Amino acid sequence: MNNTSDIIQSSGILFGTSGARGLVTQFTPDACAAFAHAFIASIENKFNFTHVAIAIDNRPSSQAMAQACIQAIRARGLEAIYYGVVPTPALAYTAMQDNIPCIMVTGSHIPFDRNGLKFYRPDGEISKADEQAILSATAEFDAISELPELEVNTKAATAYIERYTSLFERLLLEGKRIGIYEHSSAGRDLYADMFTALGAEVIALERSDEFVPIDTEAVSDADKLKAKKWSEQYHLDFIFSTDGDGDRPLVADENGDWLRGDVLGLLCANEMKIEALAVPVSCNTAIESCELFSHVTRTKIGSPYVIAEFEQLAKDFHSVAGFEANGGFLLGSDVEVNQNVVKALPTRDAVLPALMLLAASREKSISELVNSLPQRMTHSDRIQNFATEKSLAILAIAKEQPEDFLIQLGFSDSAVASIDITDGLRMTLTNGDIIHFRPSGNAPELRCYAESDSMVQAQYLVNYALKQVQLVKITD
């Protein structure tokens, strides 16, 4: 007999900013089962349910992980509904409408040798307190001896498409040529139907049989060149893509220029006439300076922190939403669009911001909409395989002596005007530039975000800061 707490602790799998993450080798059948048992045990006294839904991304390891979770669900006397490969928000939305919990097997954008589990209560994404409840659960369970066969239910895919096509007239995208960069996205078999149903001509681009770890916050130079080429070659008005599990959008304008996720979120929120926003501290300050919203709250990075703020905002505002620098849009309240109600979906979603941007571009081009905003440029990148312990040690010293840290980075002709330690270290310089370091919550990576009046300067700040921080010496 196994104990969930013992198995989870010995696995080495940790919760990050977006679910439990670890190496594929750590997600053994018993480890997956332990997480499923612990999750259900942590919520079964708070909700009444007889079914648990589960879905996966296209990673090679995801199906076996789902099988182990389903075996655990059945062992607890519950029915498992398997939705196959669908985007995380499709699973979450359908489960919320059915008032049942769900588990998404995905590692999002991290490399294919890693994977993860995302958990949703019947009322939405779990909180940080829920994570601790899972880790501390002590349910007993039998070791996994065999993995069950899987039968795909198509309900989640169908409901997700209907959620968005029902909001708009059928010819919303008539005359538009939309490229879908499919790679290995979990939603790649849904998006063409969705855009076609709204009148667009769809061109499928670069489907991959191997998993592609697309990071919407750090778009590769290769993908930047691809978008330019595709836009010109196919005369595209728009390119749509997502990360691995389809909850973070990656969209390009009519020129093949990828939009920053927080700019996309800003334009979406404005088109939806959202009153109050919760956004992570790393997002573009144009959100406040554009003066389009009644209230903006800054949070730690990660959807649980954004979602946690919705309850407070809902006390004072009718329409509430949030988005992240990675582009994921979180709808914190029901909102009316074209006299149709779109139900709240307090988890990251890639499709809603893309469609709202397309709706906003009926009279102006996407590039014109972007250029109408306050021109604060942001850029981000990361150092991979950079030990989290080292990142934390460097930033602990830097928070105490930010001026000295800035000099160590080589910015001796600048000075720190203020710092924000909401999440990592965010330094606003006297010239208005911003440099923000933060260890990733999902992998051994150190991220750097920068903001300036020009993209060239923002890119320089990130590239130079990431180069220099690797030279910083940690002394006892």
Residues classed as catalytic: 108
φ and ψ at residue 195, rounded to 5 degrees = -70, -35
Q: What's the rounded Cα separation, in Å, for the pair 442 and 368?
A: 35
Q: Which residues contact 196 (CB under 8 A, 6 or more apart)?
A: 202
Cβ-contact 30, 143 below 8 angstroms = yes
Q: What's the rounded Cα separation, in Å, for the pair 348 and 368?
A: 26
Strand order in the sheet with 201-207: 201-207, 177-183, 238-242, 249-252
